[in-house]
Amino acid sequence: MQFKQDFFEQLEGFYSQVYPLPISNPHWLAWSDDAAKLIGLSAPNDELLMQLSANHAVPGASYYAQVYSGHQFGGYSPRLGDGRSIILGEAVSKNHQAWDVALKGAGPTPYSRHGDGRAVMRSAVREFLASEALAALSVPTTRALAVIGSDLPVWRESQETAAITVRLAKSHIRFGHFEYFCHSNEGGKDKLIQLLNFTIAQHYPHLSQDAQGYKAWFTQVVKDTAVLIGHWQAVGFAHGVLNTDNMSILGDSFDFGPFAFLDTFKEDFICNHSDPEGRYAFGQQPGIGLWNLQRLAQALTPVIESDDLVAALNTYQAELVQQYLLLMRAKMGMPLTEKSAVQTEQDKQDLDLIGRFCAVMQKNMLDYTHTFRAFGQLDMSSEKANLSDEIIDRPTFDTWFTDYQQRVGKVEDIEQWQAARNSVNPKYILRNYLAQEAIVAAEEGDNSKLVELHQLLRHPYAEQADKAHYVQRPPQWGQGLIMSCSS
């Protein structure tokens, strides 16, 4: 890996230098060729294993943990920071694209808050799978290069073994960075400007570092966040812990803990056992995205005019709706003519049609992924087409389907139409029970299920021979699994 150290060299005071602690008996549990290509790596090797497990130094690495704060479940935590993640620097690929490389689970930092700074195998595996599964679904996300296992014991509810996820991110800057340098004694306007100018120079070089550039930058952050959450809602992904310190300034999926892809569709689905009131339930994510942006706007008031911040925030809903509609129209095969004055009315009608379909799924307890994949087998000329044998309320569905047929119109080439649906509606997703089965096997020394699951998820839309068992609805024990923040 070839590193540059822009964050480390230009933002002194925004981090603490800290060196990782090695894990014993390191071994590869999983490796992503797709992520490796992003930073110019090929196959894993023994020396790289020793380096990324902190047993050998990585040439050119700086090793540091960033400081930030954040709103957690609505309450402000003034000093958080990387409690179990140590960044090596920005690896530069042959096409000059830079990715932060971080070792998650590499030991304590000044921000560990009396924790051991370790990640257990189950959390490391889940982050790896989530990162790479979302990438294959074209959802904006951080990436995961590898999971490294060990025989180092760590204690959570019981004794487990430590592991390290090697995370790649275009940036680790979070909403919480700006909150920290606005609200803490270590911050102030000068620090905010320094961080803002760095962010623009690194990731928005087309923008100026002045009032107009700052306004344009925040407007783009609002748009990127709306686009991200539009993707989540369309693909049926619940993040589970949308604190502001888990929100990437670039609009990438970030910090995976108690996430879940929907099995049975439930608007109020909760995947985090620490969230009994459902603050971060699946259907709450669009509103939480705006709430978090409002907290970021508050932190930026020393450097951006309030009217400009409000104007940018006011674009959020329209951006999210347009992204969601773009994806859902593709999933359901609803064409849209060129933009015109009547599109706003069409948007309303389509949102109503989609909402009614979601109500059908919820009332009949349909599987989200299975139901949308079934659009690829629809006979649009039939008066009594079916999307699932599990539909009990047939009259409601039949009424909806008649309206849906009218919206889609005449389909000239049904095979082409069906193929287009299969190209955007995945057959395979990362169901929590599949991840759990892979984790249990890995804990028993067999990582073959993990490797096979990862390879399956790289091609979520393809028909894959001999993989029918991955399509099944969860067994009883795996239905609606609720995870912890350490999972």
Which candidate in 82, 245, 252, 367 is catalytic? 245
Token pair of 153 as six digits? 């014991």
Compute how many other C-beta atoms are within 10 angstroms of the C-beta atom of residue 272: 25
Lookup result for tokens 């599964």 = 133
Lookup result for tokens 């859902």 = 328
Token pair of 266 as six digits? 């439930």
Lookup result for tokens 């009032």 = 211
Examine the residue annotation and report whether 268 is marked as an active-site residue of this protein: no
What span, in angstroms and rounded, lies between the C-alpha atoms of 70 and 76? 6
Token pair of 432 as six digits? 């929590």
Token pair of 43 as six digits? 């196959």
Compute how many other C-beta atoms are within 10 angstroms of the C-beta atom of residue 307: 9
Q: What are the DSSP calls for 88-116, one per residue?
A: EEEEE-TT--EEEEEEETB---TTSTT--
| Beta-bridge mates of residue 317 | none
What span, in angstroms and rounded, lies between the C-alpha atoms of 250 and 175? 10
Q: Which H or E run contains 202?
A: helix 189-203
Please list, in sequence order, all residues whose beta carbon lies within 8 angstroms of the beta carbon of residue 472, skipping any fewer than 6 positions away.
none
What span, in angstroms and rounded, lies between the C-alpha atoms of 330 and 171? 30
| Beta-bridge mates of residue 119 | 163
330 burial type by CB count under 10 A (0-12 exposed, 13-18 middle, 19+ buried) = middle
Exposure string for 52-63, b = 16+ CB within 10 A, e = fewer:
bbbbeebeebbb
Question: Taking CA 256 as the corner, what is the angle to CA 431 and CA 127, rounded to the nearest 5 degrees?
Answer: 70
Catalytic residues: 245
